[in-house]
Amino acid sequence: MQIGKNTESLAVGCGAGFSGDRVDAPPAVVRTLIERGGPSAIIFEMLAERTLALAQLARKANPDLGYEVLLDMELRPILADCLANGITIVGNFGAANPRAAAQMILRLARELGLASPRIAVVEGDDLSSAEGRRLIRECLPGQFDDRRFVCANVYQGAFSIAAAIKAGAQVVVTGRVADPSLTLAPAIAHFGWRETDWDQLAGATMAGHLLECGAQVSGGYFADPGYKDVPGLEDVGFPIAEIAADGSCIVTKASATGGLVDARTVKEQLLYEIHDPAAYLTPDVVADITDAQVEELGPNTVRLSGVRGHPRTPTLKTNVFSDGGWIGEAEISYAGPGAEARARLAMDVLRKRLGRELELRFDLIGVCSVLGDDGNRLLAATAAGAATDVRLRVAAKHDDVSRIDRLLREVPALWTGGPAGGGGAKVSKRQRLSLQSCLVPRERVPASFSFIEQT
């Protein structure tokens, strides 16, 4: 990647949109970036809210872990090509342990026979220390329970990542940063934008927003047969944004892949997880898409322009996770004539046996399930019918695991003691992590980068 004041556009590809995304997607993105030539980067966004809390728990169990578990599978096929072609890799795959992730990448490079890459880690997001907890307590007055505390991480922005790239990093490993900041950072390094170039920062932030969920802008999370058809969905190509010096971008996707980039896919993703379109808050800028325009330039080529930026806010968002007790769920199926009536009878049995000690959520899969609510209001309003393939699901949460274990015994007991023909009982439980969010003054939580040497 070229650094400094450039007028040539920067191509940023997306290699992953969440932890668990398809690991066979990045090579086509990298091939396309190489064919295109010119400065480029690839980002990996792999850190949903809950993913980081689970990574913190993994690190507590083993201090060498707590980074993205798919990291080796993501980078092994592309690391050599990226390093050889100057494609900067930026990822929040450091999760709860960026230094361990950096060591893993150094080991991978050595194993592949590559010269040791310049790897930087960005830190400052983790507020789990005693000092961090004091700050959280200030920002969550009266609502913070130290005994249940699991972890806290603040959303950092793009400028520390950009500084690492300017200093020569070929790979930048982060923990919690705002998702679009992963894309904005190489653009800042490439174009030499300042912290007050609001319109440019906002434009590239929205480019990052379009990229951060992987295939969601290139035909994923979109197809509705007969209404919105997508070719080759089984091989959907991951997106690439060509960012211009004014912050506008052209969205495309990896060549020789399936999927679709058109005005509809881009508009849907532009508003994804947005509240007020005039004020999309990130650590770097307040982006305003009120007058944004989406324009099809050709097949799988869409331009986003007209994004405006306003000064960033003085605070950063912090997620605080606490021990939230347990969640248990169990399922059993009924099929054939009378299936719905038998499933409803099983539901009634569970309610009578457990309803006093647990608040139960029911689903009748095949009749009324995911559109329903935990209060069972939609289910109650759904008239009994004659569905012939119904899976009953029951779920509950409680601090006391013994009550959850009781729920998990009651559903398999329906095999022998419930309505006729019940089969396929499955049960599971998991620890619940409850989330509180707060705003902390940004000057109290500075981020910084450092280069990592092999240990």
Partner 1 sequence: MNQIEVPLREIAHARTGDKGNCTNIGLFAYDARHYDLLVEQVTVARVAAHFAYRRPTHVVRYLLPKLAAMNFVLDDVLDGGVNDSLNLDLHGKALSFHLLTMTVKVPAGTALRRAKKETR
> Where on the chain is the footprint of partner 1 (CB under 8 A)?
48-50, 221-222, 224, 226-228, 264, 267-278, 289-294, 306, 321, 324, 327, 329, 361, 363, 369-375, 377-378, 381, 393, 395-397, 432-435, 437
Q: Are 156 and 177 in contact (CB under 8 A)?
A: yes
User: Which C-beta is closer to partner 1: that of 253 or that of 393?
Assistant: 393
Minimum distance from residue 136 beta carbon to partner 1 (Å): 17
Measure the CA–CA gap between 296 and 48, rounded to whole angstroms. 30
320, β-bridge pairs: 152, 436
The neighbour count for residue 324, using CB atoms within 10 Å, is 15
Task: Give the residue among 360, 382, 385 at the shortest CA–CA distance from 371.
Answer: 382
User: Which C-beta is closer to partner 1: that of 100 or that of 330?
Assistant: 330
Minimum distance from residue 1 beta carbon to partner 1 (Å): 31
User: Which C-beta is closer to partner 1: that of 58 or that of 394?
Assistant: 394
Instruction: Give 62: exposed, middle or buried? Use CB within 10 Å, 0-12, 13-18, 19+.
Output: exposed
Minimum distance from residue 155 beta carbon to partner 1 (Å): 13
- Using CA atoms, how far residue 281 sits from 202, 314, 435, 443, in Å, is 10, 11, 19, 17
CA-CA-CA-CA torsion sign (46, 50, 52, 54) = negative
User: Which C-beta is closer to partner 1: that of 87 or that of 358?
Assistant: 358
User: Which C-beta is closer to partner 1: that of 4 or that of 226?
Assistant: 226
Minimum distance from residue 213 beta carbon to partner 1 (Å): 9
Minimum distance from residue 395 beta carbon to partner 1 (Å): 4
- Using CA atoms, how far residue 416 sits from 75, 103, 421, 425, 426, in Å, is 50, 53, 9, 11, 15
Minimum distance from residue 53 beta carbon to partner 1 (Å): 8
Measure the CA–CA gap between 49 and 34, rounded to whole angstroms. 33
Minimum distance from residue 135 beta carbon to partner 1 (Å): 21
Measure the CA–CA gap between 328 and 64, rounded to whole angstroms. 30
User: Which C-beta is closer to partner 1: that of 8 or that of 374?
Assistant: 374
User: Which C-beta is closer to partner 1: that of 242 or that of 363?
Assistant: 363
